[in-house]
Amino acid sequence: MQYEAVIGLEIHAQLLTDSKMFCGCSTRFGAEPNTQTCPICIGMPGVLPVMNRKALEFTIRTGLAVNCRISSYSRFARKNYFYPDLPKGYQISQYEMPICEHGFIEVIVDGEKKRIGITRVHMEEDAGKNIHEGSGGHSFVDLNRAGVPLMEIVSEPDIRSPKEASEYMKKLRSILRYLGVCDGNMEQGSLRCDANVSIRPAGSNGFGIKVEMKNMNSFRFVEKALEYEIKRQINILNDGGRIIQETRLWDSSTGTTQSMRTKEEAHDYRYFPEPDLVPIMADETWIKEIKEALPELPDIKRERFVSEYGLPEYDADLLTSEKSIADWFEDAVRAGGSPKSVSNWIMVELMRFLNEDNRSIEECSLKPAQLVNMLALIDNGTISGKIAKTVFEEMYKTGKDAEEIIREKGLIQISDEGAIQKAIDEIITKNPKEVERFKAGEEKLIGFFVGQVMKATKGKANPQLVNDILKRKLSI
Ligand code: ADP
Ligand code: ZN
Ligand code: MG
């Protein structure tokens, strides 16, 4: 039997507000435990929550960006469960009346565009954090995170492969970062994913029993966990067993999932409307204002980069994955750089250095105009494309201009024909066998000669001249 996977993701995104969802406490990450708390977020009796307007605005902004309908009337609900990190004994969330519904985003998988439905985007508050390790047999609770504003973004079960799931997540993260509503930091937990997966006979329409997986804090882990889980489910069915609905935890050290608990049903949570908060009636004109202020989003930007700058889809996709990279690119083009050259330098060299240093483009001292200056020095023959890589690396590390580096390191390209001829003559005398083979028709040996000349001139010879002179000399 051939099976296909059915996947739906529930993504929790921490909103970039300064204060919590229902009180004025700070949301800053990394503070001393329990220093960012008050009677409201630690769940004292008799207190009243007040909704954070910014959190609502950010959620509406997100809903609009992912093509949702914004509800004119929406409510909070209590989701009841008991756990030490949840001081009130319930989480304030949204249930029957979420603020945003019926959206979608598009992802590209293996060159194919695919639309993935978004069921809802709703607001809720985060819980605190239990600390068991390194506490001498005791468990501690840190409530700094309790009450921090979250958005939950629920997808339709439209995803069909682990790869599609991670592409969906990447696209969503990119959108959230463009919108400035979430920093997307998966290691610190500001973007978390629960993945639901079931399998069914390929081509059928029904849904199988799903398993929910938690604890995957990178795109790679989401993919790996799904791959593992799909195999596990197929094996069970092939052995004549049946899948049970449960929540499983991904363990990255073993690359497997372990059962955590059998999944609760909605009625286990005894949801009911939150009586301490008024319903939300988002004003039409306000929603319109938020919509008009939306930035250009990654899909539109990608298409524009293709049509306006003539870039290949691949380049456009990579450059627009982060708004800051797209802005850097456009600044360089505006400063006179040719789009494709600028794109190559960003994608190949700059991205490599940034990845190695785990740095963002904003934290990089190299400015777009400096790259453009360097490109002009390649064009006018001052440096070769090869030397430019050394210059670029130095520019990246020091923030100095190309001219300065070229001067300091003596990297100016040798375009003096006499000097190049001299080097070539020496190499021809030293390698008579290769010369003979070349003349006998082994034309690919030209690469060997070019390499030798470059070595002799420490890479500074003008490659075009080297090629021309070599061909002239060797064909005599
Ligand atoms: P629950 O009530 O368990 O939270 P929901 O219906 O709210 O389930 O769906 C939660 C997530 O699981 C959604 O992202 C949805 O797309 C996905 N999902 C629902 N049914 C299935 C299924 N049979 N297989 C895979 N994913 C599913
Ligand atoms: Zn508080
Ligand atoms: Mg649900």
Q: State in Å: Cα 405 to ligand 3 middle.
A: 58
CA-nearest residue for atom 14, ligand 1, is 8
Residue-level pLDDT at 420: 85
- CA 417/CA 66 separation, integer angstroms: 60
Torsion, CA 292, CA 294, CA 296, CA 298, rounded to 10? -140
Provide DSSP, 25-53: -B--TTPPTTSS--TTTTT-TT------H
Mutate to test the pocket of ligand 1, among 6, 116, 196 (most ligand atoms within 8 A of CB): 196
Q: Report the top-level CATH class of 417-474.
A: mainly alpha
Q: Are 21 and 148 in contact (CB under 8 A)?
A: yes
Return d(Cα 233, Cα 244) in angstroms, integer. Answer: 10
Protein residue with least CA distance to atom 19, ligand 1: 157
Beta-strand runs (E) in 181-289: 191-201, 211-214, 246-251, 256-262, 272-273
Interval 332-391: pLDDT, tens: 999 999 999 999 999 999 999 999 998 989 898 899 999 999 999 898 888 888 889 999
**Span 401-440, pLDDT tens digits:** 998 988 887 777 777 788 888 889 999 999 989 888 988 8
CA distances, 47 to each of 38, 51, 80, 92 (Å): 10, 13, 18, 14
Among 262, 202, 260, which Cα is nearest to 234's? 202
Local confidence band at 457 (pLDDT 50, 70, 90 cut-offs): confident
With a cut of 80, say whether residue 472 has pLDDT above it: yes
**Ligand 3 mean position, distance from CA 393 (Å):** 49
- CATH 1.10.10.410 boundaries in the chain: 417-474
Find the mean pLDDT for residues 196-211.
94
pTM for this prediction: 0.86
Residues near ligand 1 with C-beta < 6 Å?
6-10, 154-157, 196-198, 207-208, 210, 266
Q: Is the pLDDT of residue 476 over 60?
A: no
Give the atom of ligand 1 at the shortest distance from the alpha carbon of 266.
2
> What is the C-alpha to C-alpha distance for residues 167 and 159, in angstroms, rounded to an integer?
10
DSSP conformational letter for 272 = E
d(CA 170, CA 251): 21
